[in-house]
Every structure is written in structure tokens, then in C-alpha cells.
Amino acid sequence: MSSDFLILAIESSCDETAVAILHPPGTILCSLIASQAEEHARFGGVVPEVASRNHLLAVDPLVRKALSDSGIDPSDLGAVAATSGPGLAPALLVGASYAKGFAMALGIPYLALNHLEGHLLSPFLGAEEIPPHLALLVSGGHTQLTLVRGVGDYTVLGRTLDDAAGEAFDKIAKLLGLPYPGGIEIDRLAATGNPKAHEFPQALPERENLDFSFSGLKTSVRYFLEKNPELPKSSQGMADLCASVRHAIVGVLLRKTEHAVEAAGVKRVALSGGVAANRALREGMTRLCQTRGWALHLPAPELATDNAAMMAFAAVHHLAAGERSPIAREISPQWQVGIGKEG
């Protein structure tokens, strides 16, 4: 794999403006993130128009800071990559347009990348080869089980039919009156709670069904709160509720992963996405893989949430394969099929 150039990557698929500079195959010279969490907290969720406006304000200063912090000149760059989908169209447009202009000005290759592929490859950052494995990608917008044979060779075995796991965490947190982003709050409060205090449903229990559904859990919690309005008002009551919700979501994720690994016939598992930072999920997946004798790959916590370093690493592999994207390539907000490939 060539290592004689640097890659600038930009990620703007949702509410984080992220920029990274990477020296192949995996030396991160700089990884910066401008978070909009506080901005969107007052709305209780991400507002696309607000996100895009903040991306416009942040992307150029962030790129300039990344170059300065890395001590490099733009002429040292060999390629520019940007997330092209899936994601919020106004947000994607900002990052991709900036990356295209930057690449054109320097006369270097541009590469449009799939956000999900960035997550899928993140546990292997620095590796020159990606081994076959079963990947569980869990984030605010996506929950899916994917058989990864290599870079660009993916088969989705199961995905969410409604709410993603991270979305379920955030929606339930809102029901509990917790601040946005709620998944982090539930994980924090669950640490002192009893995960078996309340039994919430775990949908689609059939062994052969590898899809996910979390909307029923949200409804169950809402009805539970209507019958027990005083429970969340005590610290222990809130902790027990959070622990029980986390137990229900993580339980489904672990069980479906175990079934998917058996169906795929592999002995290697990778966990990625923002919910990969959840302590119960990381610990549960570690125990599962140790029990079954499977290798487990976890992303560093800072690479679990949206970031540009993972996108730069995905770019390394596609550039090494000779891939380039036309400047006229449009963003793909619904880019779900054939991840890792153009189109």
C-alpha cells in the first residue's frame, strides 16, 4: 500500500463537522471535530438546516487548523476525501462541496465515501488488509449486521426495520426527561441501576431473523411511564429504568450478533458506530467473543462516534485500489446498497 502521500478527509453527514489528515496506512496526524450537540440540544434532536449552517461556518477554519496543527502545507496532500452519504442532504453537501473545491484547486484526486463503510473499517484502522468478519454497526441512524469479506465486499445480513438502536436510546431518554444526546445519559445513569428491575420487550427473537426493531421498546417504555409516573423522579428509580432499557437494547444486539456469526461461518467480530462506545455493549461483546473463542475488534472510543479519521482510512484502501471519484459526483443521502462502491 502506497504511503508516499497524505490524505485530507472531511465528514459532515449529520451534526459533527470533522476533519482529519492521515498518513497511510493509519498514522493520524490530526483529527478534529466541531460538535453541534449543544446547539441541537435545545431542539431535542438534530435539525438539518441548523446542522448545515454550522457546517458552513466550521469546515474552512477546521481544515486550516488541521493543516496548521499537522505542520503541513496543502501541497503535501495527495488526495481529498469526503463523506457522500448516507446522511442529511444539506449537511453532506457542505463537506462534499468543500472537498471537491479543495481537490480541484490542488489538482489532486477526490474520493466520495460511504459513511457506513467508514464505521465498518474503523476497528481496523492502520491495517493493510481487512480480514473477513461479521460487523455489528450500531449508531443513531443505523443498526445492521454485515458480513465483510474485504474492502468493498459487503453483504448486509440484517438491519433495523424502524428505529436504530442509538435512535431508540435518544427517544427513550427524551421520554425520561434526560438531555440530548440521551444515549450517553442513559449509559451513565445505568451504571448504578439494576438491569433486571423492569422487563422490557426484545423484538424479533427468532433465531433465523437477523433484523432489528426497537420501536416497540420505545412504546413499552412510554406506557410504563404513564402507569409509573413517580418512578423516574428518584435517582435510584431513574437508574433502574436506564439500566433496564440498556439491558433490553444490548441484549438484542448481542443475541442477533451471535446468531449472525454462526450463520456467516466466521470467527471474527467487529463492533463500530457511536453506540460502540456504550459500556454495557462493549463489555457484553467482549464476554460473548471470549466465551465463543471469537476474535473481537473494537474501535478506540474516539473513533466510535462520527469522525474524519475513519473516513481517511477508508480512502486509503480505495485509493490503493486505484479508485477515484468524478468531481461531478453528487451526494447520495440514501446510499444504503453496495456500500463501499460508487453509485
- pLDDT, tens digit, for every residue of 266-278? 999 999 999 999 9
pLDDT digits (tens, 9 = 90+) for 297-306: 999 988 999 9
Q: What is the structure's pLDDT at 4?
A: 66
Per-residue cell: 276: 460502540
**Residue type, position 171, single letter:** K
Average pLDDT over residues 289-294: 98
Q: Where are the domains of the chain?
A: 6-125+306-320, 133-298
Overall fold of domain 6-125+306-320:
Nucleotidyltransferase; domain 5 (3.30.420)
Q: Quick: pLDDT tens for 94-122.
A: 999 999 999 999 999 999 999 999 999 99
Name the pairing type of β-strands 110-114 and 143-150. unpaired
Instruction: Note whether 6-125+306-320 and 133-298 share their fold.
Output: yes
Residues 240 and 197: beta-carbon distance below 8 Å = yes
Tens of pLDDT, residue by residue over 30-60, are: 999 998 777 767 777 778 788 889 999 999 9
| Residue closest to 199 by CA, chosen among 245, 230, 236 | 245
Provide CATH code, domain 133-298: 3.30.420.40
CA-CA distance, 34 to 57, in Å (whole number)?
10
Query: Which pLDDT does position 46 carry in this prediction?
Result: 79
